[in-house]
Every structure is written in C-alpha cells, then in structure tokens.
Amino acid sequence: MGLTKATSIIAVAGCVVAGTAQAGVSSGSASAWPRGTAIVSYANEPALRAALAEHEAQIVRRLPALRAVEVRPRGDLIRFVNAVEALRGIDDVEPRSRRHSYDEPALAVAAVTGALQWQYAATRLDQVPQEVVRGAQGVTIAVVDTGADLTAPDLAAKQPITYNVRTRTTQVTDRNGHGTFVSSLAAGAVSNGEGIAGSGGDARLMVVQAGRADGSFSDVEEAAAIVWAVDHGARVINLSLGGSATSTVERRAVDYAVAQGALLVAAVGNGYHEGNQVEYPAGLLQPPGSRGAGGHGLAVAASTRLGERAGFSNTGSHLSLAAPGESVFAAVSSSSDGARFPRVALPGSLTGVYGYGTGTSYAAPQVAGAAALVWGANPALAADEVATILEQTASGGGRWNAELGYGVLDVAAAVARAAEIAQTGLRIKGSRTGSRVALTWSSLAPAAAFRVAVTQDGGEERILTPATTETSALYSLAPGSTYGFTVSALDESGRPVAASSPWAVSLRRAQASLELAYFRAGARSVELAARLGVDGLAAPAGSRKLVLESRNRGGWARSGSATTDSSGNALWRIRLKAGTHRLRVRFPGSGDLAAATSRPVSVTIR
C-alpha cells in the first residue's frame, strides 16, 4: 500500500417488517449511494432469480463462487436496494466499496547509500539455498493490482499468466506503475542476468489486473480477481490494496481462497498519521484483536533499513509481520508517469526501467515471494503452516508486538524451518471450544516422547507436559490472552531433537462497533437499522442481542431489543410522539466480544 489513506463509499439501507431483523445493512452511516451499480449477495440461485424477476436489473458481473452479482437497476437505485434486500434469500445489497493502491513518490528518494536492492540482504533472501529457489517453480504467485509492464525484463522472463477482470481479456497494461513494481518484488526473475531479483525465486507469476490507471479498485473487482486467481492455480495471492471498510463480497472472496488452500498476503496500510485505522482486506486476514494468533493469511507492515517500523506504516492488533517498505528498489513500468515513479539508473543493466518505492504496498509482495520459497522447501505444508513459519522465524523471535507483529521477515530462517519440518514431519494442530484447546501432533521421524510448551502473550515459554508418548492433549486456558503452543520431539535421553512451528490461539475479546440509521416510514413512524461490526472473524456478529434505548430526563431508557442476523443486522419499526427524540443502540458485551454503543441519532416528529 502507498502513503495515501483509502476511503470507502458506504451506505445504510433497509426495508423491514416491524420487530424483525431480516434485511441487510451495509457497513457505514447513512449517505448517498453512488450512481450505477449495486452488489447483491444471495443465499441461492432461485432467490436471486426471483428477486431480479420482481425488480428488474441488468447483471453487470456474476460471481457464482461467491453467490454474488453486480447489477445495474433499471429504475431508481435506492428503491431497488430497499426492496431487494428485504426479500427472502437475499443476504445483502451493498454499494461498490473503493479500494486503492498506495504509494507516495514524494517519499521515494533518488538514491540510497549502499546496495540498491538493500531489501534482499535485509530479509536474508540472499542466503536461501539455490535448490529452494529452484523448488519454488511449482508455486504460482498472483498479484492483484493495476496490471504489469510485460516488457520489463524480469517479468517477461517469467512469461506470466495474465487476466484483466475489468475488460475480461488478457491485456494487463500498467499505466499506473504500481502493479509492475509489486510484481517485480514478488516474482521478478532471479536467473535472467538482467535487472533486479524478486523474492519468489523461480515461482510462476500471475498478473490479475483489477485496478485502473489512477490506482483505484472496487471491492467487487478485487473479489473477482481473487476468485479468478484461485481458479487458475494461484497458491499465493498478493493484495497491496485496501480500504477503510469491508463488504460481504470481499469476505466471501477471502473465505473462498482460504477454502481452496491459497495463502493471502495483504498490506496493512500507510495511514498511521491519519488515524491508524484498520484497513481491509488486511483486517480479514489477521483479524483485529488476534495479536498474531490464527487468521486466514498475513497482514504485512513496512520496516526501515534499521529494522524498525516505517513511520507511515499502520500498527495494531491485526499485524502479522513486517518487511522492508521504505525506499525499496524494483522494476518500474515504462508506461507509468515519470513524476510518479522517478527513474533510477541501474548499473550494468541493458534494458528495463527501475526506481524506488515506499509504502506497505511494497512490503507485502516480499512476504508473498517468501511464502513461495517456503513451499519450495516443503511442498507438503498447508497455507496456515506457511504463514506460521514466516511469522515465527521473523526477527521477533516468536514474540508479537503491535508495531511490527512478529518482526521483520527472515526468509532464510523460514526456509530452514520448513526444511526441518519436511525432514522430521513434526506438526501440531489445534481447535478451540470456549476456553478449552484440543491439540494433536504427529512426527514422521521416530521420537521416544514429546514435550508440550506454551507462551502467553509472547512471554517466556512454559512447559505444560514435560514428556508424553501421547499425540493429543486437552488444556483449559484463562481468557484474555494469546497463547502459542509448541511440541518438541525427544530422544531416549529426553533431549529435544526437533520442534514444531507454534500453533497460536487468541482468547482475547474481539472489538465491536455499532452503527445506527433511521428511515421515515410514515408520518409518525420510523424504521431503525443497526449494524454490529466485529473486528475479528473468531467472533461472529450474528445471534447477538442489541438493546434500543431512548433519551429522557433520567438518562437512557430501554425501548426494546432485537437479535442480529448472520450479518450483524437488527431492525425496528417504531411509532413516536411529536417532538425530537434521541435514540441509540447498545450491545452489552459477551465473553468473546466487547461491549459497544452506537452514536445517538435525533429524530424529529412534527
């Protein structure tokens, strides 16, 4: 991501039956919808057909794998939204949500003292064995971005797979430059004797263009790109883009990729000085509140040459790890604006265009490339195991913090850990039910016994079971912390001979947010639409009781309650007396989700 904060088009719309919580409410506050299209998420095809038969609209884009379509209504857009999202079998109706790539040419210096491609040594990429570099050829890295300059020597040598989700062609001309820069960092050729070297070794490159020349995307284009990449063999997907709110179609795209075994890598954003908000899709991959535990991918921050957090890089409980993102060197699109991407001469280079870039956008693809190398060292790993290895071998030594996550990427250490696991086959898995955790482990190499240890909130390791011949265990945990479990294989004398990568779980309460909007339903009646947002996938927003309150002289008084649907929506229809009324919605909190209260809304009845 670059150094300009993302914005999202957000709206609330609802049409309900009194006392129910059936219709969807898009994240955000009440505002005008953008003209043109809406995204309809549905439970099944018959429900969609029935909705469009009753309310005519042109289908602009189909995403059957996500049970979503983009449509352009024949009549009034708001009327269409209010009518359709109240229908049975329609999960949500949302506007297109904006996504942007982020970079800031003004912060990209014209020269850097020392090695041009300094990030190569900073992540110890230069110490990865050649057999691993070659072994990554079985992995395809997809870069979802603004396209790529296929004449750039390091990209041309990879003969990338290409697709443009906007034009539905294979033409991916990058007039912005962001996608070319990102692609070369992730998978630029390492053996063509020209230009720079990407992080992914001999991994294949897939370029999926979803962005425009100005660097903007939409969530539906992002989702379509993710699905296309997964369906065409991508194992790693880089998303150097983001926005301040998520959507149903984006969440479904992430879930689809995860279900197919792909590893998603996203930049966390560059808005530290503009509010340091959680941005998406990074917030879907490593959920806020998780502190590096679990998740569905890797959310990447940017580091400096000194291994510190870059000043612009977002922080928070949703960080996974960091990688160099300040004045990194890579290939530049020949079609891009020279003022946006200043050209820098590369000594000894005969072709191609090169320069520096700054932003978390350029940290993420280095992690994506490293993931391909980890798979090159051990193809049997699952996506979540690759993510864990990259986190646990980073510079933090297995300890997490809100500045850099688990620390700065160390590719050589990650590859070595993957190779060790391939030799010993020592792996640990777990599942959580409430505050109880069930662990299972296995080892290909013979072991006399196993030792189970745990860390709490990144503290010192504590041994839970010194030695056992069992391959499973059940532990009860105190809520409010993040835990990391490790299993070691012991020889006959009780000495550890191999250790698994940790399995992490968070028992922290996820943060919640509440938004409330109202719509006039008659002379003295209003419809109130509330949405409960959850910053963390481990805590679903559905089946939560929300309390509607009204303000009087004695303070806030309860006016009713409703239970949220699966998307976190709750709705009321109420009659009010003449005058001005202040209303709010409150969630009292639960064991896994913190309490939240909406901002009050004022309703005047004449």
Catalytic residue positions?
A: 145, 178, 361
Residue (of 18, 27, 23) closest to 572 by Cα position: 18
How many other C-beta atoms can be found within 10 angstroms of the C-beta atom of residue 74?
10
Give residues with Cβ within 8 angstroms of 572, minimum separation 6: 16, 18, 19, 527, 528, 548, 560, 562
DSSP, residue by residue, 58-95: EEEEEEGGGTEEEEEESS-HHHHHHHHTTSTTEEEEEP
**Neighbour order of strands in the sheet with 427-433:** 427-433, 436-442, 472-476
**368 three-class SS:** helix
What angle (nearest 5°) sits at the alpha carbon of residue 181, between those of residues 179 and 182?
Answer: 65
Q: Are 290 and 482 in contact (CB under 8 A)?
A: yes
State the angle between helix axes of 364-377 and 411-424 in degrees (0 to 180), rounded to the nearest 10: 30
**324 three-class SS:** strand
How far from 201 is each of 22, 132, 263, 324, CA to CA, in Å?
A: 50, 8, 17, 18
The torsion angles phi and psi of 397, rounded to 5 degrees, stand at 60, 35
Q: Are 356 and 109 in contact (CB under 8 A)?
A: yes
Give residues with Cβ within 8 angstroms of 534, minimum separation 6: 510, 511, 512, 540, 541, 568, 593
CA torsion angle 453 439 375 318 (round to 10)? -80
- Report, in angstroms and rounded to the nearest whole number, the Rg of the chain calculated over CA atoms: 25
Name the β-bridge partners of 300. Answer: 267, 321
